Each structure stands twice: as C-alpha cells, then as structure tokens.
Amino acid sequence: MRKKVIAANWKMCKTPDQVQPFFREFLPLVASHDRDEIAICPPFLDIPAALEAGKDSNVAIGAQNMHWEKEGAYTGEICGSMLLAIGVTHVIIGHSERRQYFGETDDVVNLKLKVALELGLIPIVCVGEVLEEREAGLTEDVLRRQCLRAFHAISGKKARKMVVAYEPVWAIGTGKTATPQMAADAHVLIRAEAAKSFGEEFAEQLRILYGGSVKPENAKALMAESEIDGALVGGASLDPKSFAAIVRY
C-alpha cells in the first residue's frame, strides 16, 4: 500500500500575514487525518510563518523550488540546505511553470533532484506534456524523456524518498482535468520508466501524484484510481475549506 500524498502548491500567492489565518481554519478540518501525507508548499517568504503555524501538526511544509548547488554566488537563489535548516521536508522540482517561464531544463531538474535527495528532502518531481504535444500524439515520448533525464545517474537507494507528479500542462490552472483514465495511463508509463531506471521493486513503491485542476468535486474520482497516489493542488489549495475537502475526498 502506497500512502497517498496530498500537496498544496500556493505558487506566488499569499503574504506572510495570510498564512496563520489559513492554518487556523485548515488544521482543525484535517486534525487526526493520517490516511494521507499532507504537505503545503508556500512561497519561500511564507515558509517560516507556515512552519510556525503548522508546528506539531500533521501538515508538512515544502518549498516550490531550490537551487542545485549547496551554496555560492547565485544571487536571488535559495538552496536545499537552507530549506532543511529551518525544517522544510518537501520540495517541488521541475514544475511546468519553472520549465516554461524560467527556462528550467530536464538537466537542471536532474541536478536539483540529485541534491534534494542527497540532503534528505522529499522531492516532488513534476513531469507533463503541453497541449500541442498531446494533440500531436507525443505524450508518451515527452514523459519518457522527462523521466529518463530526471532520473539520470541516480541510484534506487538514493531515490527512495522521491515522489513524482504527473501534471499535464494543459490541465494546470485551466479548469480542464485529465480523466482518471488518462491520468492512470500516464502513471503506468511513468512507473515503467521508474522500473527501468531503479528496478521493479522501487517502481512498485513509488508514489505518483496527479496535478491539474484538482478540486473537491473531482478529487474522489481521481483518487479512486489505484495508479494515482495523491494530488498536487494549485488553485484549490489556497482556500482552507477547499483544500481540506480535497484532503478528505
């Protein structure tokens, strides 16, 4: 049995003063919920307030990005050891918005993944095709390439904590959701790629999340798919009631 992960990606939303009110409303709604792992990934600046508000709760705090070096002359960047030092446990790597707007390549994703694993963070590696790729019948090729390059030169032993999120780019923030079957098909392919890189046993325990317009109304059907091991939630995670409804699907 793979324990599901329900993770929130707040993207560039909420100021630090909005964090505590969110947790005040959210925590009682998910108190004693231990069926799934819950993680919230706020913007960097909100992380200390989230760690404070979520202290001693069942909610872990993640970051949305990190640099691939451990320290150095990289103005404006945040590295994994800084995250770890303040109590962050999860980190999103290779989100499509990073790939699309900040030029993040498969090779950069691989470098970041290696460092996150080395530090003991739980990386949530995002893969997914854009609409043109799906329409051109290239979804499988794209997912294979993204996985192969992300997993390059990493051992199964090192990758143990890794989580993958399948996020079809055409479904992110658009209100369009992949059907549970479409998501399950992609997850089967990703699991097969993980088996090639890390072995069957590893692939069997790998948690693969679905992300792309997950809402309280569609969470149950998506989570019912045995291939879907949780959700990465953007827009619907900004409201405590709606994110709690997804957690409790």
Distance CA 189, CA 22 (A): 36
CB neighbours of residue 214 within 10 Å: 27
Q: Is 95 a catalytic residue?
A: yes
- The answer to whether 93 and 65 have CB atoms below 8 angstroms apart is yes
Which among 41-49, 71-79, 128-136, 212-220 is the span making contact with ligand PEP, rule CB under 6 A? 212-220
Residues forming a β-bridge with 10 = none
Which among 22-30, 71-79, 207-215, 219-227 is the span making contact with ligand PEP, rule CB under 6 A? 207-215
Binding mask 67-106 for ligand PEP (x = CB under 6 A): ----------------------------------------
Q: Which of residues 223-242 bind ligand PEP (CB under 6 A)?
A: 232-236
Q: Give the nearest distance from C-beta 225 to ligand PEP in angstroms.
A: 16
Instruction: Extract the tokens encoding 134.
Output: 């799906």
Distance CA 124, CA 113 (A): 9
Binding of ligand PEP by 209 (CB under 6 A): no
Within its chain, how far is the Cα of 174 from the centroid?
18
Q: Which of residues 102-121 bind ligand PEP (CB under 6 A)?
A: none
Binding of ligand PEP by 167 (CB under 6 A): yes
Binding of ligand PEP by 172 (CB under 6 A): yes
Q: Scanning the structure block, which residue is given the tokens 């909420």?
A: 14
Classify residue 46 as exposed, middle or buried by CB count within 10 Å of its CB (0-12, 13-18, 19+). Answer: buried
Q: Is 33 a catalytic residue?
A: no
Residues forming a β-bridge with 5 = 37, 230
Binding of ligand PEP by 213 (CB under 6 A): yes
Report the interface residues with ligand PEP, using CB under 6 A. Answer: 9, 11, 167, 172-173, 211-214, 232-236
